[in-house]
Structure 1
Amino acid sequence: MSFSLARQPLRAAAPRLLQRSAVASSSRVRHFALPSTSPPTSPRPRMSAPNISPPSPLAPAAASAPLELPGAPTPLPSAPAESGYSASALPPTSDPLFSAFVNHLMRDGKKAQARAHVLGMLSHMAQWLHSDPLVALRSAVATAAPLTRMQTSKQAGKSVPVPLALHERQSRRRAIVAIIEASKKRADRFLDARLAREVCAVLEGNSSVLQKKEEAHKVATLNRSNAAVRV
């Protein structure tokens, strides 16, 4: 009896619950069925692959451009090389002939003074010869360089002069010393001018250095029979 009475309120409320669920479901359907406000988009056209033919194996490869990295320093343009020789562009002090001339001219350890005299000599030669003075100095030293020297040897109680050959460094030293000694007899006031005039005289062939060289060669030729004597 009590069970039947308890089910009556549920049966009475069932139509109302079903009506509420139907309204909710219909509103939910209407919410999702609203059309979108964005315009319809056209379908994306399909891209066809480009027709690229493979390179011929006999065709030369194209030169690729150099890769430029961000932040890399830009190379500076190289300065054009000076044509000829000028007094403001003196030769480097690392040249062996220049260093040898400075060392033979140096007195009392004053190397800076000797270097200044040699640079002044090259400046005078550049003005007078209108060419590279270092090349002219090499030619003058090679012209004045002797090839032999004499040495005395005792054989059977007598002195025998024996001619000996000189190597390149010994020959260059004798030529430089001879030019420096011959320049002391000139009347110019400054040492660099005297040295320049002596070098030019050697190039012209009227220097006393060449006469001494010829005399030394004559003595060596006269005593060439003693070349086999052991010194």
Structure 2
Amino acid sequence: MGKITASRTSLRPDPRFNSLLASKFINCLMYDGKKTTAQAVFYSALDEIAEKIKDRPSIEVFEQAIENVKPYIEVRSKRVGGASYQVPMQVNKNRQQSLAFRWVLGAVRDKKGRATHVKLAEELMAAYRKEGTAITKRENTHRMADANKAFAHFAW
């Protein structure tokens, strides 16, 4: 199985919004243990969002964006008598969140040629409006699960 870290229990809310979700996201955004840099990038992105979307606090936009990206169902490989089936399965809470983070950050890191905070702000606003690369990823995941509904009886 994957490595288990204590980050769930020892996670402290972030300084500006006092949000655990933001804190976890900053940790996922962080490279080479540079938390201050990650925080700066995250907060700059939220400031950008605050300028563009006036009617809601930027932290709410962020939370809603992550909520929109979370997948509810995914396919997992299951071997049954020599054949591998893609079996659609429910995604548990922690995995939903980490997949959402991974997809948003993946989308941000794939875009080239602009400051990270600008790309992050754009991806979050797109996800908030239910569009953008991360949402496409989620749609594809759901579509795969839908297409393989026939194998749902293998779910364990």
Q: What range describes the TM-score normalised by the shorter chain of this pair?
A: 0.7 to 0.9
Paired residue for 1:218? 143
Structure 1 unaligned blocks of 5 or more: 1-88
The structure having more radius of gyration, on CA atoms, is 1
* Equivalent position SS for 1:161: strand
Counterparts of 1:13-24 in structure 2, within 5 Å, are none
1:124 counterpart = 2:42 = no
1:115 to 31, 39, 45: 39
Q: Which residue of 1 aligns with 2:12?
A: none
SS in structure 2 of the partner of residue 184 of structure 1: helix
TM-score w.r.t. length of structure 1: 0.56
Whole-angstrom CA distance in 1 between matches of 2:27 and 2:150: 37
SS at match of 2:31: coil
Gaps of 5+ in 2: 1-14
CA pair 230-179 structure 1, distance change in 2 beyond 3 A = closer
Distance 1:140 1:202 in 2: 5
Q: State the distance in 1 between where 2:27 and 2:152 align.
A: 33
When normalised by structure 2's length, the TM-score is 0.81
C-alpha spacing 1:124/1:165, structure 2 compared with 1 (3 Å): same
The one-character-per-residue Cα deviations of 1:66-114 (angstroms, maximum 9, x if unpaired) are: xxxxxxxxxxxxxxxxxxxxxxx9412xx11111111110111112211
Equivalent residue for 2:121? 196
Instruction: Say how many residue pairs are matched.
Output: 141
Higher helix share: 2
Residue 164 of structure 1 is aligned with which of 89, 96, 102?
89
Instruction: Provide Cα deviations, 1:149-170, integer angstroms capped at 9, x if missing partner.
Output: 2211111111111112112221
* Counterpart-to-counterpart distance in 1, 2:78 and 2:108: 33
The percent of aligned pairs where both chains have the same amino acid is 23
Does 2:104 match 1:179? yes
- RMSD across aligned positions (CA): 1.9
CA offset digits 1:29-75 (Å, max 9, x no partner): xxxxxxxxxxxxxxxxxxxxxxxxxxxxxxxxxxxxxxxxxxxxxxx
